Structure formats: C-alpha cells, structure tokens
Amino acid sequence: MSEKQAGLNGAYYGPSIPPKRDSYQSVGRGGGPLGCCCSCIFGLVFKLIFTAIVFMGLAFFVFWLIVKPNRVKFHVTDATLTQFNFSSDSNLHYNLALNLTIRNPNKKLGIYYDRIEARANYEGQRFSTITLTPFYQGHKTTNVLNPLFTGQQLLVGSNLQSEYQKQTSAGVYEIEMKLYLRIRFKFGRIKTGKFKPRVECDLKVPLSTNGNSATIFETKRCKIDYFKAI
C-alpha cells in the first residue's frame, strides 16, 4: 500500500522527491521481466524471514532449555582439613574432605553427570585433581558428594610462603575448588547434547586438629558457569 502511494507521489510530485526514491520507483514500476524479478525477490525475502524465524525458535528453545529452568545449585556444606603443611622440600602435604551438595530444582529436567573432575587450588596453583563417580540426578533432588583430596604436591611461588604464613596464623586457609563437569540434560525421553559447565567454590577452611577447629566452616555457595569452554 505505502509503496503504491510512494509511487503515486512520485508521479505527481516528481521533482520534489529525493533522487534515491526515484530510482527505487523506476525498478518497482517496470513491467514484464522486472515484475517477475520483483516477486522472486519477495519470495527470497519471505524464505529468508521464514528461515530466520525457525532458527530463532530453535535458538529460543535451546535457550529456554538451559536458562529458563532453575539453575542447579552447588554448595560446600562442610570441610575437614586435617593436614595442610609444607615440608622443607616445598611439598604441600594435604588432607581435605569436603561435603558437596548438588541440588537439581527442576521439575522436568534430569541431569546426567557423565564426568566430574574436582581440582583443588591454593594461591592459584593446583595441588590435587580427583574424579568422582558419574551419576544421574532426578527431578527435584539433592545429592551429596564427598570429594577427598589427600596427598602431597610441590608448590612454589613468590608470595606463596608469606601468604601461607599469614593464613596459618589466622588459622584459616583460602582454598579454591573447581569442578569441571560434563553433563547432559534429560527432558522426558529427550537427552540433550553435552554441556561442560564449570563450578567454582572459594572456600575458607579452618585447620582441624583432632577433629576440632577453632573456626567453624561456613557453607559456601559455588558459582556455576554453563558456557565456559574447558
């Protein structure tokens, strides 16, 4: 409609119309082969728009699948650190037991944890890597995992010993646990492809001697990042 009117306007007020419109008009008006080309273009534009809508719908579905559902929640509820000291050869001797709860709050999504790798870092350096048993988590359930980091690892760094001394006198060590996951969602009978989310837990862990520690460990909620590539 508006194009036709523009055409009419062009016919009546030719000189006052800007040149850009003029050229558009002459293409639109041409009969025969030009008109056919025009419908081809419209057909192509229609197909493009249709395809775009389908893709947007698909993208939205995937987006909904990942984001709209409630996020899975990770908490470290308890930590027992019975050994965390350096021997004279700069080896860190450690024994850290954690209670990790994973809550799937979704009514319709189950989660396959196909791979659970847990890494423990101190002052930006990894000192232990373990893998936990894969499992399936049903709708609206909470699972408790018990990662245990124990052993010794050579750690060297410029600020490492001074930070360690500081934290030793405070009685609390700042330890970071990261989870590198490979998961799939289950929606009805549909199983999605793999996702590789990362979970990061910044912990403040008191040293416990004979099962007692001066400071009580406080439950820590972990950050989860679905899209970070490993």
Binding part of the chain for ligand NAG, among 85-93, 105-113, 121-129, 135-143 by CB under 6 A, reads: 85-93
Cα angle 95, 96, 102; round to 5:
155
* Residue number with CB closer to ligand NAG (146 or 165): 146
99: contact with ligand NAG by CB under 6 A: yes
* Residue number with CB closer to ligand NAG (26 or 209): 209
Closest approach of ligand NAG to the CB of residue 79, in Å: 9
| Contact present, 81 and 208 (Cβ < 8 Å) | yes
DSSP H or E stretch at residue 66: helix 32-66
In 163-197, where do the E strands start and end?
A: 172-187, 190-191
Q: According to CB under 6 A, which residues from 140 to 199 bind ligand NAG? A: 146
Binding part of the chain for ligand NAG, among 26-34, 43-51, 79-87, 112-120 by CB under 6 A, reads: 79-87
215: contact with ligand NAG by CB under 6 A: no
Residue among 226, 228, 199 at smallest CA distance from 63 = 226
Binding part of the chain for ligand NAG, among 31-39, 56-64, 82-90, 163-171 by CB under 6 A, reads: 82-90
93: contact with ligand NAG by CB under 6 A: yes
| Contact present, 180 and 194 (Cβ < 8 Å) | no
For residues 129 and 125, give the distance between their C-alpha atoms in angstroms, rounded to a whole number.
11
83: contact with ligand NAG by CB under 6 A: yes
Closest approach of ligand NAG to the CB of residue 99, in Å: 4
Q: What is the 3-state secondary structure (H, E, C) of 132-152?
A: ECCEEECCCEEEEECCEEEEE
Give the footprint of ligand NAG on this chain (CB under 6 A): 77-78, 83, 85, 87, 93, 99, 146
